[in-house]
Structure 1
């Protein structure tokens, strides 16, 4: 049977009204997701994208990347390249610290996989900041406080080490190694993956794929490694990777305290998942024979899973349901109409005409913005910024999304959609969403300061301009940027 073809929910035992209720709850209480796909019995019963997000642009996975790295290790184990009991230091004899502690010597591949390396803090920042050291050397130099296998600590640097091990053994990056084994068989066509300064895929983050790719990956695991009649991954590895290897809490209501596998989180209701920051999910539900793929940009990740359990689990039945065209048609219309609301238009008074085309010189700031110019038109306008020696441009619509490509706060062009409106006669509110990922160095990169978008409030007061910038989500939730300018 062809995988992930479209089906009515009822034909696969899913109540269309339950999916509609999930969407209503999301839109009312979560604001917005970016996309979702629900698969039941191998068939796609719901797929939707909150405009301006769409099916074709790759989306950053953040830590959902880890589950793909785990899969690469599974292939390497299957092919006899390593064992999960191999000592980590055995792969890097030339990168070891001058003194190898007993705990470091005891650290095995399985401890990297299960986030039980024995570190008492995440090593990622040390990898990035290690002056004169490679990322591998920086990881191996960190103190190992606990006996490996006895202490859970979420540690993205451990996943990087898995990537480094695969590349050390194969001479290939994760992308290259997974291409014939995973990506091509699943139809994942254009995966992107960030690399360290040493040219090693970052492993624990940095993968970008489309939502249908997430769904395919989840379905592969649901089918215990089988894909369209071929066993891509041994069923035994799927079972091992998705099983609990270490405890990570005792809160029965938290999906972050049900145990941790090999780069997969155990969930309530017999499910498990890969997930990434700001709401990237690949939820595998064996008891329901279902997969949920979600991308988003939100801070409260538990809330979305709560809504999955609240609405979708009871909406899945053991048998096919009677055809319900009115409910399924209503759901289809709702899925087609999903959208992030553009900024309300408002009235600009005379300000837009007065400042259009005029240059504001911006006081020195950490973002390197030195000049701001607006060109206003009837249906929107263009924001021009000078950053160092580069000029960035953002076209926006009043009360609607305008798409384009910009280098705003980033070192390379990035697709975006922007909308603006006047909250009062002197204040222009602009919302910008980045639609594609970008890698490299820049003021908005490296620490996830502005991964998906930002809101900008431009306050015009005579000859002065005040700009308040707030990311839609950020690893620094208190981040606020303020710029001051005057007519040049």
Structure 2
């Protein structure tokens, strides 16, 4: 069935016991604190009561989920255990006899599938960078080359290599990649289409990161868990697994004010207020609030993830009331207007430079540089600028709106990515471009300084407005 046939039902907030004014206040507080959200979807009693995307991000764009991917990997483990493919008590080394030297077997004999799920493997350092850097591309072998200074199950250490091993176990026992295994069991029943998940050099899905989905797909996943594995009256995941996966299995701190110290389940975080969540770097969330019968899905490009959760607890959680509320047409209209006009501001035009005419069509030749850019050329029009450059002989192009976002695509490492770019003349000789990679929280800033026959380009990159300079390029106008 097509994903459009599985679209979540919509409702206004008051019908589901929430005031439109409270949701409006949440959005305003988020923006006042300059927390860069890319999308927001709020479900109550199974209905979407509010949803919005900050332009240039849009509903149809899948967004990188980073470690929120882990909760989907956990779900695959739940299916496999239910199908008796293996048990949580099975030793991890037992799945990989080709790596089971006597030394490895002795070292890893106590490490079980359960310990991978609860991030209690016995490591004292994050080994994910080490396994990803293995020269032969065999991440499983690299994992068994690590040391376990602690007894598995005794302490918490968050590390994506544990989740990668869960993905490798699923593939070993089922003969399918994680994404293929989940396709008929999870993605198809929920109407989730076009799923993409990164793989390691040996073709194993990364598990702990690398999954990309739309905001509504993330919300569906949260709603499935809220309903104890039921979807449209049909059991998808055993309720017993839902209960286990979202329960506290290990302590991860003592702070009463942090949502990262409330305990950890099977690749799910426990939260304050008896809620739980899956989350990923830079603010990717699915938050499940059983007591309020609510789910929140968020994608972002920010560093302070706790600040977003604080706003959820302070403004949205207490707004959930029992029973329907009297319709507030004025507040509903104000909320609808706010959600329909959400936007990350593009560059606004400060001035019109005469250089837009004199440098258009000129070819600039770069000095030797680590980006391996050969040349660049600009074509300025009234409402757009086209930038063409050659990188290792390959032609690449970017078109940006002048004072507006302009959507397009760019090729990075042979992968086409959706982008939006905006530019403006900062002064008579400086043209500034911001390019947002719409499937990710990342963006780049390109500042072009024109001076007589020379061009200097300052490149910055990062998330949201937190951009760090990383390279300066110099070029000279070709007079030939």
* TM-score normalized by the length of structure 2: 0.95
1:31–1:255 CA distance, 2 compared to 1 (3 A): closer
Misfit runs of 4+, over 6 Å: none
Which segment is superposed worse, 363-372 or 217-226?
363-372
Per the alignment, residue 167 of structure 2 pairs with: 163
| Partners of 1:116 and 1:151 within 8 A in 2 | yes
* 1:452 maps onto 2:456 in alignment: no
Which residue, 20, 35, 44 being the options, matches 1:40?
44
Residue 66 in structure 1 maps to residue 67 in structure 2: no
Segments of 5+ residues of structure 1 without an aligned counterpart are 438-450
Residues 314 and 355 of structure 1: is their aligned pair in 2 closer, same or farther, counting only changes over 3 Å?
A: same
8 Å Cα contact 1:4-1:39 kept in structure 2: no
**Which has the larger displacement, 235-244 or 383-392?**
383-392
**CA offset at residue 133 of structure 1?**
5.2
Q: State the shift of 1:3 in Å.
A: 7.7
Residue in 1 aligned with 2:423?
420
From 218, 224, 245, give the equivalent of 1:214.
218
State the 1:383 CA deviation.
1.1
For 1:311 and 1:362, how far apart are their aligned partners in 2?
Answer: 52
The aligned runs of 1:350-389 (5 Å cut-off) are 350-389=354-393
Distance 1:124 1:365 in 2: 30
- Does the alignment pair 1:18 with 2:18? no
Query: For residues 133 and 281 of structure 1, what CA distance do their matches in structure 2 show?
Result: 30
- CA deviations on 1:111-168 (whole Å, 9 max, x unpaired) are 1001111111111111121123511101111111111111211110110100010010
In the alignment, what sits opposite 2:229?
225
Q: What is the CA deviation profile of residues 395-417 of structure 1, one whole-angstrom value per residue up to 9, with x for unaligned ones?
A: 1111111111112x543221111
Counterparts of 1:339 and 1:9 in 2: how far apart (Å)?
22
Contact 1:97 1:137 (8 Å CA) reproduced:
no
> Who is 1:128 aligned against?
132
Question: Which moved further from structure 2: 283-292 or 428-437?
Answer: 428-437
Alignment of 1:160-309 (within 5 A): 160-309=164-313
- Counterpart of 1:145 in structure 2 is 149
Partner of 1:445: none
CA deviations on 1:416-461 (whole Å, 9 max, x unpaired) are 1111111211111111111236xxxxxxxxxxxxx52211111112
| Aligned residue number for residue 3 of structure 2 | none
Could you say what the CA RMSD is over the residues aligned between the two structures, in angstroms?
A: 1.7
In 2, are the aligned partners of 1:103 and 1:145 still within 8 Å (CA)?
no
Equivalent residues, number: 472
For 2:19 and 2:197, the matched residues in 1 are separated by: 37
Determine the C-alpha separation between the residues in 2 that align with 1:357 and 1:18.
52
Deviation at 1:357, TM superposition (A): 1.0
Which secondary structure does the structure 1 equivalent of 2:135 belong to?
Answer: coil
Counterparts of 2:281 and 2:399, CA distance in 1: 28
Per-residue CA deviations over 1:293-334 (Å, capped at 9, x if unaligned) read 001111111111111112111211122211111111111111
Which position in structure 2 is the counterpart of 1:432?
435
Question: CA–CA distance in 2 between the matches of 1:148 and 1:365?
Answer: 48
Q: Distance in 2 between matches of 1:194 and 1:97?
A: 29
Task: Quote the Cα distance in structure 1 between the aligned partners of 2:184 and 2:291.
Answer: 30
Structure 1 residue 8: deviation in Å? 0.7
SS at match of 2:136: coil
- Aligned-residue offset at 1:40: 0.3
Query: Does the 8 Å CA contact 1:97/1:140 hold for their aligned counterparts?
Result: no
Please give the TM-score of this superposition, normalised by the length of structure 1: 0.94
